[in-house]
Structure 1
Amino acid sequence: MSSADAVAREAAWLADFNPADGLPALSATLGGPFDTIQAYLPRTPAQRRTQLYVLRRQLREERTAHVRRMARHLFELRIFWPASSPSGSSEDPQQTLDAAVELVLQRIGGLMLDKTHGGRFFSVAENPGEVTVDFADPEPGLRDRADLRCTVTYWADDTEVNG
């Protein structure tokens, strides 16, 4: 493991699904709400698709002992959600986005006694133990029949290494 693959590891956790663990599927191919779950933002995101992109906004290397250090990643999930609905309602896409974000929060929270995202990290959303969701103003997306947007941010601690 290296800090260079942290974004890919987190994207893999979000796209992963095991029906036995009780965590929700996020990928539409597995019954979840997102057509795309991907590490890094593409040059031209798809139109009219539910999309979740994993970005790293900050990397900190913290010394935990004289010869030990730990990488801390501030992840940002960018969510794009179509502002249109078959019913023509503007409220429906806003509500379905809220429901999708709830599933994302459950997935980030991880398993009851395992906050490592399947061994990919030392811990996720534990130090500090917070996840922040920021919703963009829906009016421009609704007016332009484009996308609703929100970001989800949280920290992940990597495993300690000598150095």
Structure 2
Amino acid sequence: MSSADAVAREAAWLADYSPADGLPALLAALGGPFDVVQAYLPRTPAQRRTQLYVLRRQVREERTAHVRRIARHLFELRIVWPASSPSGSSEEPQQALDTAVEIVLQRIGGLMLDKTHGGRFLSVAENPPEVTVDFIDPEPGLRDRADLRCTVTYWADDAEING
């Protein structure tokens, strides 16, 4: 593992799905709410699609012992949600976004007694033990028939390395 592939590892966890583990799927093709779940922002994002992009906002390299260090990644999930609905309701897409965020939070929380995201990290959302969701004011997106947006941020600890 390398610190450079942390975003790809986290995107893989979010896109992964196994009915046996009890965690919800995020990709629409597997029954989840998102048409797109991917690492990094594309140059030209999809239009009128439910999208989740994994970004890394910060990395901290901390010394844990004389010859040991650990990389801590601050992940940002950027969620883009179409502000339209078949009924023309403005409340429907806002509720759908809230429902999708709840599913994302379940996926980030991971498996009972395993916060490693399938062994991809030492731990996720455990140090500090919090996940923050910031919703962007929906009024401009609703008014312009554009998109609703929110960000989800949390930390992940990589495996300790010598150095």
TM-score range normalised by the length of the shorter chain? over 0.9
Moved over 6 A (4+): none
Q: Deviations over 1:14-49 (max 9, x none)?
A: 000010110000000100000000000111211100
Gaps of 5+ in 1: none
Please list, as runs of the form range in 1=range in 2, the aligned pairs for 1:50-89 lying within 5 A after superposition.
50-89=50-89
Partner of 2:11: 11
Partner of 1:27: 27
Question: How many pairs were matched up?
Answer: 163
Structure 2 residue 129 is matched with structure 1 residue 129? yes
SS of equivalent to 1:70: strand
SS of equivalent to 1:29: helix
Q: 1:132, 1:45 → 2: CA distance?
A: 24
TM-fit CA distance, 1:133: 0.1
- What RMSD in Å do the two structures reach over aligned CA positions? 0.3
Q: 2:43, 2:65 → 1: CA distance?
A: 41
Structure 2 residue 117 is matched with structure 1 residue 104? no
Partner of 1:146: 146
Q: 2:58, 2:32 → 1: CA distance?
A: 28
Q: 1:3, 1:156 → 2: CA distance?
A: 11
Gaps of 5+ in 2: none
Amino-acid identity (%): 89
SS of equivalent to 2:21: coil
Q: Partner letter of residue 101 of structure 2?
A: V
Q: Partner letter of residue 152 of structure 2?
A: V
Q: TM-score, normalised by structure 2?
A: 1.00
Partner of 2:95: 95
